Amino acid sequence: MEMLYNIYYHCWWHILVVLCIILTLWESGSSQYTLIKPDNTVVFKSENYNSNCSYKGYYRYLEILNASGSPALFVGARDYVFKLNLENISDSASSNSIHPENYETCDTNNQQGSTSSKCFQCGNHVRVIVWQKDDSEFYICGTGAKKPQDFILFANLTVRKNGTSSSGVAKCPFDPDDNATAVWVEKGNPGNVSVLYSGTVADAVKSDPVIYRPEIRKDGNIESKLVRTVRYDSKWLNEPHFVASFDISTDDEEYVYFFFRETAAEFVNCGKAVYARVARVCKDDKGGRNALKDNWTTYLKARLNCSLPGEFPFYFNELQDVVRVNNAFYATFTTNLNGFYGSAVCTFDLSTIEDVFNNGKFKEQKDATSNWLPVQESNVPQPRPGKCSNNSLGLDDTIINFIYSRPLMDQAIPMREGRPLYYRSGVIFRKIAVENSLVAGQRVLYLGTNNAKIYKLASTESCSQVNEECTSLSSVIEPLQDDTILWSMKYFKHSSGMSMLYLGTDDQVTQVPVDDQCNHYKTCGSCTHDPHCNWDVSSKSCTADTSSSKATCSAIIHTETESGAAVVLQGSTNYKNWTHNGTLMECQPVNKTCVMTATGDLVLLKPRSPKSEGEYTCNLYGGDKITYNLTVLSPQDAALKRYEEWCDKFDEYKNLVEEYKENACNAGCLRNFTCS
């Protein structure tokens, strides 16, 4: 019987431990933070929209461009382009209307959902705004009532060529709900002519996704015909959602990078899965001579690995947004949103991506029933497929045929340090913005959720050990209503030093100062976790003065627990280690006396007196400490304490009764007692 009891006890013990690990690991992105509802935001809402169609402007596309020598915020909305003052977006806005030419004939019969009204679907939703520096003009592309149109605007936003437009097919989407990307590339193209590269769909039914570059002309001569991805080939693009694109110049070659997520063709034999991708093409690629005519001859793509490391990694597969800072890409990912969901931020170095493309193995599937396997080096032709060539039209057929059937790399792009920068359950990180320069030695990131909350993070880039917590959550900013969907977010640092976020939603554009919120922090610890703030010891207040070294915050908390009763000592995700009376604690892996959670908390499972008593200190990165002075009560002391607490409550009850009698007597309404 005793043996059965021991087996039962140990089984339940291990089950509880596993559940504890799962719950705490999945919440490893959690930490103590300050909730900020700023009162100094600025809002822009155009008066051009009226109730005849919709009051909503659908301000979903934001771009900060340095046009004519001064940066401004350009907004792509429904039927309008707006130019806003970055200092104050509600001040002196200029705009131009770009109404679709075929609004009356636009058909919405095949559209479903709440946004399927003709007003929304048949508007001209601007999705591309680029500044053509050579011509001092803007290139604009919009959905054009399901017939994409592009325009050329002068610097004052007036339309060139008397308002006429040309086809924007393959340059921007048909559907305003579709994801698309475009980048204007000024050098490295055939003839060194500036041109647009885009990732979108080239038909209304979304069966033809494309990475595209239009025909290039110089002095009336064709430098290159249009070049695109192969049509209707799932090995090249398979139901992609385009996220971002970048002009990349290295020491030797010129590329354009595209980031997207798509249905993984290499997983199709096992089911359906979405993978995050990065692809590249050479700028001087003119397509092939016979095979791959008008198609990229240098197109390569690879999976992006953003996952929690382990024997069985937990993947965040669905890429949501990417920004570039120097030679690194910061990206937000989510899990599939059908069940338990979460988000992560991963960083990828350009040199790592280049190494996979330039030196990694290719992946192939020999026939429809075969597994996808790496290509043997002996089967890779030379020069290596995917490398830039001075004359792609003259490439050997073996190289062309290799790229046609094997554009996918075998190795996934590894994330920096082999782990996410930050992750969190139950949250969808839709957008990311990153400050270009370090603040107090830390990288500051802003993560925009699907319901327009902004997570402000501080990351120490010098962290090198895998088990260090290098990123802490400073605050969560709530500038908008909970049910607001965030479509676009841009960061800009003004010459005055002020940092601003600009948020694009269906109803408005919102300007949020992000380094002017120090007054919301009420404790030293919360204040110093924000790189823009510092704690003033004399006034015991949080200020925006970061000129001096960061204040060191320490707290001593007195707490009690009963012998044998588990107690949780709250720490921080920014913790370095825990000590007990100065001795380093070892709780990993879980033992029978303590559990150290991924959120930095310490769980004492069976504290006993006197060996469990004393000081427990959570040492944080940056020098801060949280110290608990723990007293473990014996069963007798615990019973005596509860009796004393009962006596205190009884005395409190008697005092309340006496107070009630006195008040009742004074009011003359006491019947059951005699007043003295």
Burial class of residue 647 in the structure, from the number of CB atoms within 10 Å of its CB (0-12 exposed, 13-18 middle, 19+ buried)? exposed
Helices (H), 30-73: none
Q: Could you give the domains of the chain? A: 28-56+313-355+411-521 (2.130.10.10), 552-633 (2.60.40.10)
| DSSP assigned state of 136 | T
Rounded mean pLDDT, 452-471: 76
Per-residue pLDDT band for 91 (boundaries 50, 70, 90) equals confident
pLDDT of residue 350: 97
Residue 244, classed as helix, strand or coil, is strand
Cα distances (Å, whole numbers) of residue 555 to 141, 250, 472, 607, 629? 56, 50, 19, 22, 11
Asked if 61 contacts 124 with a C-beta cutoff of 8 angstroms, the reply is no
- Structure token pair of residue 246: 């970048």
Per-residue pLDDT band for 516 (boundaries 50, 70, 90) equals confident
Residue 314, classed as helix, strand or coil, is strand
pLDDT of residue 110: 57
The number of helix segments (H) and strand segments (E) in the chain equals 6, 45
Burial class of residue 625 in the structure, from the number of CB atoms within 10 Å of its CB (0-12 exposed, 13-18 middle, 19+ buried)? middle
Name residue 471's beta-bridge partners: 459
Rounded CA separation 566/631 (Å): 13
Question: Residue 308: phi, psi to the nearest 5?
Answer: -80, 120
Residue 621, classed as helix, strand or coil, is coil
Per-residue pLDDT band for 109 (boundaries 50, 70, 90) equals low
pLDDT of residue 481: 79
Cα distances (Å, whole numbers) of residue 493 to 329, 351, 418, 423, 434? 19, 27, 31, 26, 11
First to last CA, the chain: 68
| DSSP assigned state of 377 | G
Q: Is the pLDDT of residue 20 over 50?
A: no
Name residue 626's beta-bridge partners: 555, 618
In this structure, the number of other CB atoms found within 10 A of the CB of residue 503 comes to 26
Residues in contact with 51: Cβ distance below 8 Å, sequence separation at least 6, in sequence order = none
pLDDT of residue 623: 67
Give the chain's mean pLDDT.
87
DSSP letters of 520-564?
G--SHHHHHTSTT-EEETTTTEEES--SSPPPP-EEEEEEEEETT
The pTM assigned to this predicted structure is 0.82
Residue 398, classed as helix, strand or coil, is helix
Model pLDDT for residues 162-207, shown as the tens digit of each residue: 556 789 999 999 999 999 999 999 999 999 999 999 999 999 999 9
β-pair type (216-218, 209-213) = unpaired
Residue 618, classed as helix, strand or coil, is strand
Name residue 476's beta-bridge partners: 35, 455
Rounded CA separation 398/380 (Å): 9
Model pLDDT for residues 373-388, shown as the tens digit of each residue: 999 999 999 999 999 9
Rounded mean pLDDT, 222-251: 96
Per-residue H/E/C for 96-119: EECCCCCCCCCCCCCCCCCCCCHH
